[in-house]
């Protein structure tokens, strides 16, 4: 009897969900149709108003179209219009809301690379999408997925060729990100990533490319490509891990850019050279260095670390000391930016999610396929990146009349 009671209790709840979904879908369909009607009416009014006569008139509808969305299929009809005068100077109507070949919303397209990297084969996409979006997620066959990957390849190629003219990036972060997939014949292959922040504090993805983390040649190629497309002003600061060919390439392309080594990577490298029993105390001391409010205090804790561990653990101390100057560069920039520029976390946090999605993947296809999936997921993640905290101070970083001491702005000395 208990089982029967549960079934009766669940059935109305399921029915209510279905009704609610139907109401939401109907409402979305009505709003979409209304928005498209208003769009074409505004276009007709604009053209006729500028010509002073009835040049454009309504002319029925195109065949009904089905748009796949997160709440199921939404049906819509695109209105048509006709130019009575055949005046070729009048721009043809093109809906921004409903482009001619749109068949699914962006949210569904963002799910597809996620599923691919999760290890779902193209043949199983239909079942996976049905589980996520309901039975309405139809029409996404393996052939469709293959065709979409071809579209993504074109999008990636266009993105790689986009102009960067008149763009300025104050800070850039660089890293080589490894995934649990085989990228070509060499196990050293990874995805090389560069992110930047504009003078307005917006974070942007600048480069995503397959290559070698340690390769100076590959990093030089990436940086020169950015420069050839218009990025002619040297960034103020570059943040990266110490084990990159990036550092050898950077001064060849952007010689005035200052350097900051990532404290997260450095901490891990130093602790790796210490016995486990010593690591908690050493880690706390390393944190005290880069969390110090003033550079002088950081230098003092730095010296204390050397004195404490040099005799018994010289390799750990050597690992830390060799990058001493580049580990403390952040003190010459606004204090509000320190949490952003002490580490490569803007890249790590984004690609940690992507990496988790690849861990269960068994053979993610070709290196190109993996690159495209990572690119699409990174583009999707970029929509949620937050503006740099204290972005207003970026103008002071750019302005040569100012300098920063312990994160505070002061007048720069005349040359």
Do residues 242 and 261 touch, judged by C-beta distance below 8 A?
A: yes
pLDDT attached to residue 289: 97
Q: Partners of 75 in the beta sheet?
A: 66
pLDDT attached to residue 176: 85
- pTM given for the model: 0.68
Do residues 319 and 273 touch, judged by C-beta distance below 8 A?
A: yes
Do residues 43 and 93 touch, judged by C-beta distance below 8 A?
A: yes
CB 11: neighbour CB atoms within 10 A? Answer: 10
pLDDT attached to residue 123: 59
Q: pLDDT 10s digit of each residue in the chain, 415 long?
A: 444 434 344 445 545 545 655 655 565 567 667 777 877 888 888 888 776 777 788 888 888 877 665 555 667 778 888 888 766 667 677 776 566 655 555 455 555 665 555 555 555 656 555 554 555 455 455 565 666 677 788 889 999 999 999 899 999 999 988 765 555 555 557 889 999 999 999 999 999 998 877 789 999 999 999 999 999 999 999 999 987 789 999 999 999 999 999 999 999 999 999 999 999 999 999 999 999 999 999 999 999 999 999 999 999 999 999 999 999 999 999 999 999 999 998 888 777 655 555 454 444 456 777 788 788 778 877 877 889 999 999 999 999 899 999 999 998 875 4
Sequence-separated (6 or more) residues with CB below 8 Å from residue 305? 282, 285, 286, 289, 317, 320
Cα–Cα distance, 361 to 344 (Å, whole number): 25
Instruction: Render pLDDT for 15-40 as a digit per residue (tens, 0 to 9).
Output: 554 565 565 556 556 766 777 787 78
Do residues 81 and 58 touch, judged by C-beta distance below 8 A?
A: yes
For Cα atoms 225, 229, 233, give the angle at the middle one, nearest 5 degrees. 95
Domain extents in the chain: 2-83, 105-262+345-384, 263-342+392-415
């Amino acid at each position: 009897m208990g089982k029967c009671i549960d079934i009766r209790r669940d059935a109305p709840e399921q029915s209510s969900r279905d009704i609610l979904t139907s109401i939401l879908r109907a409402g979305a369909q009505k709003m979409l149709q209304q928005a498209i009607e208003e769009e074409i009416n505004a276009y007709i009014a604009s053209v006729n108003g500028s010509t002073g006569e009835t040049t454009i008139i309504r002319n029925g509808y195109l065949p009904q179209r089905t748009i796949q969305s997160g709440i199921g299929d939404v049906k819509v009809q695109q209105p048509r219009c006709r130019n009575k005068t055949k005046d070729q100077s009048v721009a043809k109507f093109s809906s921004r809301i409903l482009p001619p070949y749109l068949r699914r919303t962006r949210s569904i397209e963002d799910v597809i690379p996620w599923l691919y990297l999760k290890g779902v084969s193209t043949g199983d996409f239909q079942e996976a999408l049905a589980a996520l979006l309901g039975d309405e997620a139809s029409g996404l066959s393996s052939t469709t997925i293959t065709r979409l990957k071809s579209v993504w390849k074109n999008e990636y190629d266009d993105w790689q060729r986009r102009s960067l003219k008149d763009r300025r990036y104050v800070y850039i972060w660089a890293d080589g990100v490894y995934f649990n997939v085989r990228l070509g014949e060499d196990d050293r292959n990874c995805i090389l990533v560069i992110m930047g922040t504009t003078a307005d504090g917006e974070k942007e993805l600048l480069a995503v490319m397959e290559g070698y983390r340690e390769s100076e040649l590959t990093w030089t190629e990436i940086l020169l490509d950015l420069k050839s497309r218009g990025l002619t002003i040297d960034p103020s600061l570059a943040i990266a891990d110490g084990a990159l060919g990036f550092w050898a390439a950077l001064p060849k392309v952007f010689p005035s850019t200052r350097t900051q080594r990532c404290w997260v990577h450095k901490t891990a490298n130093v602790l790796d050279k210490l016995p486990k029993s010593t690591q908690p105390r050493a880690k706390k001391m390393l944190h005290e260095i880069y969390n110090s409010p003033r550079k002088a205090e950081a230098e003092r804790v730095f010296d204390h670390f050397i004195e404490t561990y040099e005799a018994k653990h010289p390799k750990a101390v050597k690992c830390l000391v060799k990058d001493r100057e580049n580990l403390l560069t952040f003190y010459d920039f606004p204090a509000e930016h320190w949490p952003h520029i002490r580490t490569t976390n803007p890249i790590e946090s984004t690609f940690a999610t992507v990496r988790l999605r690849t861990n269960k993947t068994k053979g993610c296809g070709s290196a190109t396929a993996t690159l495209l999936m990572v690119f699409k997921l990174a583009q999707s993640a970029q929509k949620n990146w937050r503006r740099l905290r204290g972005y207003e101070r970026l103008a002071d970083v750019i302005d040569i009349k100012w300098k920063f001491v312990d994160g505070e702005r002061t007048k720069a000395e005349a040359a």
